Amino acid sequence: MAAACGRAPHAGGVEVHTSSWRTYLNRGSLPFWGMHVTAAIGVAALGFSWTGLALALALYPIRMFFVTAGYHRYFSHRTFKTSRVGQAVLAFLTQTTMQRGVLWWAATHRHHHKMSDEPGDIHSPRQRGFWYSHVGWNTAPSSNDRTARECRDLTKYPELVAIDRAKHLPGILFAAVLFLVGGAHALVWGFFVSTVILWHGTFTINSLSHVFGRRRYATTDDSRNNWFLALITLGEGWHNNHHYYQSSCRQGFYWWEIDLTYYALRALAWVGLVWDVREPPRHIRDAVASPAPAAPAAPPAPVAPLA
């Protein structure tokens, strides 16, 4: 997963962040909290609905696929290929999940991998605890600091730059379609409720998959494999696998590690919409070292007070 804390320089040029209530509540975070409030008010006004809940839950895996296949496995890691038209369509559909632009998401995620669980990691539970790694990194003003320098391989496509700049437009159009088809009921449950559930499902990878689970590989961070998180995120919970070999589209390395995003991309490859869906080479996958114990949580380095 995945907006907008004061920052201060740390030794070696690494940025570290400090937080206060402004990290979570500021002008830039109002749309984020507004989505939650609107979902709650909408459900209260319309009343609880089993059909509405079914709509939200039915849309969840479809929209999660665009997060995992689009934002993460394609734009952040380029673990499969598609056509230029397919790339633009994927970007548009991915942004219907309302997690900002694909270039911003990719830049943020690539930065996370460079600094994983170090002081400069934007959403490390080791450095900042659960709430910041789950929500605060996304609502803090500093979340807007990522730039296109992290993803020049993507900015060479003007259509991607345009879609990224119109970060909320695809989601707004999706909401409009739901309203036209199913009225307020579909809008509240299919867009507002569905989006809030989707956000927090995505954010569990930031806040929980570096804390709970098993470590097959001795990576330099705290990444872990967690079967439950893999189920609710269509395969992203095999996080230690992913941090060990990031260029693999398949994150469930073995047959018993369920990876629904990978299965869907394989199906799309069969019909020619995507290709070169990467898997871990056997010698990489099976080269299991005894995982080093994860470093104990430590307080972040001293930082300047928030302005």
pLDDT tens digits, residue range 120-174? 888 999 998 999 999 999 998 877 776 667 789 999 999 999 999 999 999 999 9
With respect to residue 224, please indicate whether it lies within any of the assigned structural domains.
yes
> From CA 4, how far away is CA 141, in angstroms rounded?
3
Q: For the chain, how long is the longest CA-to-CA vector?
A: 57
Under the banding of pLDDT at 50, 70 and 90, the label for residue 22 is confident
Report pLDDT for 141.
84
Give the single-character DSSP code of 1: -
Report pLDDT for 148.
64
> From CA 118, how far away is CA 127, in angstroms rounded?
7
Report pLDDT for 118.
92
Report pLDDT for 28.
86
Report pLDDT for 15.
42
First to last CA, the chain: 28
Report pLDDT for 73.
98
> From CA 132, how far away is CA 29, in angstroms rounded?
14
> From CA 45, how far away is CA 23, in angstroms rounded?
30
With respect to residue 202, please indicate whether it lies within any of the assigned structural domains.
yes
> From CA 185, how far away is CA 52, in angstroms rounded?
7
Report pLDDT for 20.
76
Burial of 208 (0-12, 13-18, 19+ CB in 10 A): buried
With respect to residue 146, please indicate whether it lies within any of the assigned structural domains.
yes
Tokens of 122: 């934007």
Report pLDDT for 25.
87
> In DSSP terms, which residues pair with 10 in a beta bridge?
none
With respect to residue 11, please indicate whether it lies within any of the assigned structural domains.
no
> From CA 256, how far away is CA 171, in angstroms rounded?
34
Q: Whose CA is closest to 176, among 191, 189, 198?
A: 191
Q: Does residue 6 have a pLDDT over 90?
A: no
Please give the average per-residue pLDDT across 76-103, as a whole number. 97
Under the banding of pLDDT at 50, 70 and 90, the label for residue 277 is very high
Structure-token match 């500093």, residue found: 142
Domain that holds residue 268: 29-285
Q: Does residue 19 have a pLDDT over 90?
A: no
pLDDT tens digits, residue range 212-232? 999 999 999 999 999 999 999
Number of C-beta neighbours around residue 238 at 10 A = 30
With respect to residue 3, please indicate whether it lies within any of the assigned structural domains.
no
pTM: 0.86
| Total structural domains within the chain | 1
With respect to residue 198, please indicate whether it lies within any of the assigned structural domains.
yes
CA 121 to chain CA mean position, Å: 14
22-26, 140-144, 173-177: which is most confident: 173-177
Tokens of 9: 């320089």
The C-alpha angle with vertex 172 and arms to 193 and 189, in degrees rounded to 5, equals 20
Report pLDDT for 66.
98
